[in-house]
Amino acid sequence: MNKFFVVSFLSLGIVSTSCGNSDESSESSESTKSVTTANVNFNNKEDTISYFLGTTRVENLKNAQFYGELNKEMLIKGFKESISIDSQTVQKMNKKITELIGPDGQDFNRSNLDSGSFYLGKFDKYMLVVQLKEFGVENVFNLKMVENGFQDALNDKSKINESEKQKIQERMSELVEKAFTEKQINDGLAFLKNNKKNPKVKVTASGLQYIVMKPGKGPKPKATSKVKVHYHGTTPQGEVFDSSVKRGEPASFPLNQVIPGWTEGLQLMSVGAKYKFYIPQELAYGANPQPGSAIKPYMPLVFEVELLAIEK
């Protein structure tokens, strides 16, 4: 998970504009290419990784072909603005950035340099805040130190040298993974705890939860049986990640070759039954979900399963 998170977290689609309450009164008509270096003191490791994160935002920004044209002072002002994550703010940023670089990022308009630079900085801050909240790691970083890192890197006066970068990034990865893991586990536990309040929900000794949607009358499979089923799998939020029902074709597989929640749950069912299972992460994929799916690490899963036959 570390490499995926760090790559996702440090990325910035600065040219794609389709993505604090600030008004244009925060903007300045005075154009300048110089900025003042921040006065930074690293009090702890969290401050250091926060500052480092700010410098990485500039590294991504430098990939834009129009970087050298931008008003650095206005970029910093925009980045230091408080951000409210709402559609009105996004629409305004989108409009202002498009006025500067065009809808495809290829039509740079110098007459909109100050306001465009300001909103590019603000958009970058917005993207950062969204990412922090999405991964549940907003408490890992000190936003003031992120701003300081951004400011210094824009002025090519970063206080982090090349030899320190790898060590700091490793530390950031550790802290982020720890915070992300704790959030995912706690969110899953909260979902299952709340789900148990439903009087229809039954719970096994392992923690597997289920509802009998339709009882069956046939035999029950063993842990080594091969079964034929229809199923519909979703995240706790209802996002579908796999469904034989949607494909219109039942699936067959041995019960000893699936996740433990399925192995246990299907043995409760008689042929013809339909159950809804709420599977704790430790009985699902744990820290290693299916690549490319909607399943996140440590996520409980929800399945509706109909047992059609025991094939052997």
For the annotated catalytic residues, the residue numbers are 231, 241-242, 259, 285, 303
Query: Among residues 205, 207, 185, which one has the least CA distance to residue 196?
Result: 207
Two structure tokens written together for 145 = 């130190």
* Token pair for 101: 């670089």
Query: Which pairs from 170-176 meet CB under 8 Å and 24+ separation?
Result: 171/45, 171/48, 171/49, 172/6, 172/49, 172/52, 172/53, 173/2, 173/5, 173/6, 175/45, 175/46, 175/49, 175/137, 175/140, 176/5, 176/6, 176/9, 176/135, 176/137, 176/140
User: How far is 121 from 105, CA to CA, in rounded Å?
Assistant: 16
Q: Is 79 helix (H, G, I), strand (E, B) or coil?
A: helix
Distance between CA atoms of residues 171 and 166, nearest Å:
9
Evaluate the CA torsion angle 81, 86, 88, 90 in order and state its sign.
positive
Beta bridge partners, 231, equal 305
Q: Count CA atoms within 13 Å of residue 231 on its CB side.
A: 20
d(CA 306, CA 266): 9
Query: Within 13 Å of residue 145, how many CA atoms lie on the same side as its CB?
Result: 20
Cα of 121 vs its chain's centroid, Å: 21
